[in-house]
Amino acid sequence: MYLKPALFAVATALTVAASAAHAEKWDMPMAYAASNYHSEHGVMFAEKVKEYTNGDLEITVHAGGSLFGGADIKRAIQTGQAPIGERIMSAHANEEPLLNWDNQPFLATTYKDSARLWDAAKDTVNETLSDMNLVALYTCPWPGQGFYFKNEVANAEDVKGMKLRSYNAATATVIESLGGTPVQIEAAELTQALATGVADGFISSGSTGYDRKVWEHLSHYYKVNAWLPRNYVMVNKGIWESLDDDTQAALQKAADETGASCTAKSEELANWYFEQLEENGMTVTDAGPEFLSELKGIGDTMQASWLQQVGDKGQAIIDAYQGK
């Protein structure tokens, strides 16, 4: 049947609208600012999913804890309130200590070593996540972790009595071991916490300091590179298993490409963040020898404690990473 041009245009528009109406739509909560490279890669992932599924699946990213707060994202996905989302993996270590695999101080301090550690851990980690009704699609590391303070710090004695923001069990343990008080604060709430005196400083990468413009409240950043924690994008396991093979393959292709791009961006930005902190008036320097020695002693104790908690599974991860 031949349709006049005007009628053909109407018919085409109706067909496209009908197709779009049948597209599955997912909301994807993320905890960090829309300008952060993790969130930007969440958007990249969503675009790739739409392309690789030919528009059958559309994902809307909600950055900055705008849909669910960071602490609530995993639970929302486990229970199906949201099908997909992102969270820093070690935030769940209180529930499952194995998920602290990437926060063992000074075990993997470079991007190359971080990748090797993830290769050693991912099968065991994925089994653990499966038991939690989750499927990990991709992970992406933060730059190495250091310390933000509002004054010069030479050793643990200088930290005593400080209130420092923690984001997981590992950071809380380090802060307590230094004689400080850990305060659980989500990244989205950090600026207000510093402004109101709820926190005097924190442990994180250059990324968080840049995102939150912490030079308005703090003066010193000490490079320690203690670990490179990973965020991960997770899907509700039941929802994942309900997808057909082609859709799963499209999602995984998008995830693999996004994870590789996100990791490369993290490494590219690591030193740039330090430059931005300095340009905005902060003193950025390596931790002094006394402070670093104290931190390494704390790290040894933390790793021994972690291995006691997780047993053979944790030891197998470390042995595989170290090539034993």
- Contact between 258 and 48 (Cβ < 8 Å): yes
Residues 6+ apart with CB under 8 A from 307: 314, 315, 318
Amino acid at position 242, single letter: S
Mean pLDDT of 190-198: 96
Sign of CA dihedral 185, 188, 194, 200: positive
Amino acid at position 146, single letter: G
Q: What is the pLDDT of residues 179-189, one digit of tens each?
A: 999 999 999 99
pTM of full prediction above 0.75: yes
| pLDDT interval class at 23 (50, 70, 90) | confident
Q: What is the pLDDT of residues 200-215, one digit of tens each?
A: 999 999 999 999 999 9
| Whether residue 9 has pLDDT greater than 60 | no
Q: Which residue has the higher pLDDT, 188 or 60?
A: 60
CA dihedral 32, 38, 42, 48 (to 10 degrees): 170
Q: How far is residue 172's CA from residue 217's CA, in Å, rounded to a whole number? A: 21
| Residue ranges of domains in the chain, CATH in brackets | 23-99+110-141+229-269 (3.40.190.170), 146-227+273-322 (3.40.190.170)
